[in-house]
Amino acid sequence: MAGSRAAIRYAKAILGLAQEQKAGEAVAKDMSSIVKTVQNSKDLRLMLNSPIVKPEIKKAALQEIFSGVHAISEGLIDILVANKRVDLLDDVAAQYSILFDASQGKETAVVTTAVPLTDALRDKVLAKVKDLTGNQVTIENKIDESIIGGFILRLGDLQYNASIANQLNTLKRSFSQN
């Protein structure tokens, strides 16, 4: 939990600096690249989280991997290494992307279902969420068979749980209380 709060703080600071220098879009591309690279490389994740690997080696490796990124993104890597928080790099990058999208009026709604959404249902959900928020929204569909049926809609901090599993748990709690 503390790590995510720190990641949000770093991301807000980087976003403010990037917008001040009118480089928000370029830094957003860098952050997206960082998230994908770290998520797709187990070795990189292990190196970033390792207390044995010296900070200078981590910094040199990151500069080599992410050569050609914007100066602000390079500065973020330097600050995280200097503050011994380089393990937060992918979290900071992910939070930056979320904050940047929100500043541009874009949001991502995560819809969890037991089976994949059909195109027609995806369009209905997208239209309803767009009406509710007024922002440009994209839908990300996650599959979780444990919800049995229905859906769970998550948009930012809000969550609407209309899953069968949730309804069964609610019914179970009401029976156990009586």
Q: Do 89 and 26 reside in the same domain of the chain?
A: yes
Average pLDDT, the chain: 91
Could you tell me if 85 and 150 lie in one domain? no
Residue 2 predicted with pLDDT over 70: no
Q: Could you say which of 69, 102, 135 is where a domain stops?
A: 102
Q: Taking residues 28-34, report their average pLDDT.
A: 95
| pLDDT, tens digit (0-9, with 9 covering 90-100), for 90-135 | 999 999 998 998 898 888 889 999 999 999 989 988 888 888 888 8
For residue 4, count other CB atoms closer than 10 A to its CB: 13
DSSP string, 66-79: TTT--HHHHHHHHH
Are 128 and 153 contained in the same domain?
yes
pLDDT on residue 3 = 57
Using the 8-state DSSP alphabet, how is residue 115 labeled?
S
Q: Is the pTM of this model over 0.85?
A: no
Regarding whether 93 and 9 lie in a shared domain, the answer is yes
Please check whether residues 130 and 169 belong to one and the same domain: yes
125 neighbors 97 (Cβ within 8 angstroms): no
1 band by pLDDT with thresholds 50, 70 and 90: very low
Same structural domain, 98 and 114: no
- 79 and 151 part of one domain: no
Structurally, the chain folds into a number of domains equal to 2
Q: What is the mean pLDDT of residues 65-75?
A: 94
Q: What is the mean pLDDT of residues 51-66?
A: 94
Question: What is the Cα Rg of the chain in Å?
Answer: 20
Identity at 3, one-letter amino acid code: G
Place of tokens 């990058």: 93
162 HSE (CA, 13 A, CB side): 6
In this structure, the answer to whether residues 89 and 14 fall within a common structural domain is yes
Predicted confidence at residue 8, as pLDDT, reads: 93
Backbone angles phi, psi at 31, to 5 degrees: -65, -40
Domain containing 117 equals 106-177
Q: Could you read off the pLDDT of 127-158 as tens digits, one per residue?
A: 888 888 888 888 989 999 999 998 999 887 78
CATH of the domain at 61: 1.10.520.20
Residues 70 and 112 in one domain: no
- The type of residue at 156 is G
The mean per-residue pLDDT over the stretch 59-73 comes to 94
pLDDT of residue 39: 93
- Return the pLDDT at 65: 94
Residues 6+ apart with CB under 8 A from 94: 7, 31, 35
Residues 10 and 56 in one domain: yes
Are 6 and 87 found together in one domain?
Answer: yes
pLDDT value at 79 more than 90: yes
CA–CA gap between residue 133 and residue 106 (Å, rounded): 10
Q: Which of 70, 102, 134 is the last residue of a domain?
A: 102
Percent of the chain with pLDDT over 90: 74
What pLDDT is stored for residue 108 in this prediction?
85
Contact at 8 Å (CB) between 144 and 112?
Answer: yes
Domain shared by 87 and 113, yes or no:
no
Nearest to 117 by CA among 85, 92, 142, 147: 142
Q: Which two tokens stand for residue 53?
A: 């690997």
**The domain boundary residue, chosen from 102, 125, 149:** 102
